[in-house]
Structure 1
Amino acid sequence: MNTGWVIALIVTGLLLVIAASRSVMGPIRWAGFVAMQLVIGAVLLFFANLVGELADFHIPINPVTALLTGLLRLPGLAALIIIKLWVM
């Protein structure tokens, strides 16, 4: 998919969420919360990958893994590590 289409889809989705809500601050606060969890998850995964370099271990940093780690914090990171080690 072209990057322009992805950006347009995200902007359109955010505008629809804002238009469908009763107040404007609710969806904006929700989007900020999700963005913060993505950042926290990406930072946790980055540090896990730094430590994992010692054992040739790597968990890819993408929106799904970052959001899972951001929302669940250390238990989410542990779940990703266990899934990576035993399932894959």
Structure 2
Amino acid sequence: MEVQYLIYGLVGIIVLFFVLKLLKWPIKIIINGVIGVVILYIANFIIANLSLVGINTSFSLAINPITALIAGFFGVPGVIVLIIIGLFL
């Protein structure tokens, strides 16, 4: 009986390993998206407060899944590219 429980335990550990390996990519995308939203929020806050310094701006970045993932994957350079694209479009 004890060998049977050992086999069940090993099979369970192997299955858990493969399930966690499969879920690694979607979880990473979700975490990067959340980080992107935070970066975009901070960028919008900084852009909105430029008018307090005397720079008049009526520009803001849209916070949606696409821009959040771009900001999450590429970080600050991605946000800078989003700002440049937003200024020219």
TM-score greater than 0.5 by the shorter chain:
yes
The residue correspondences of 1:38-77 to structure 2 (distance < 5 A) are 38-53=33-48, 54=51, 55-77=57-79
Q: Which residue of 2 aligns with 1:37?
A: 32
Higher relative contact order (CA 8 A, sep 6+): 2
CA deviation digits over 1:5-61, x for unaligned, max 9?
xxxxxxxxxxxxxxxxxx211221111101110011000000111111132221110
Structure 2 length normalisation: TM-score?
A: 0.68
Q: How much identity, in percent, do the aligned residues show?
A: 37
Structure 1 length normalisation: TM-score?
A: 0.69
SS at match of 2:61: coil
Structure 1 segments, 4+ long, off by >4 Å, are none
Over the aligned positions, Cα root-mean-square deviation in angstroms equals: 1.0
How many residues align? The count is 65
Rg larger in structure: 2
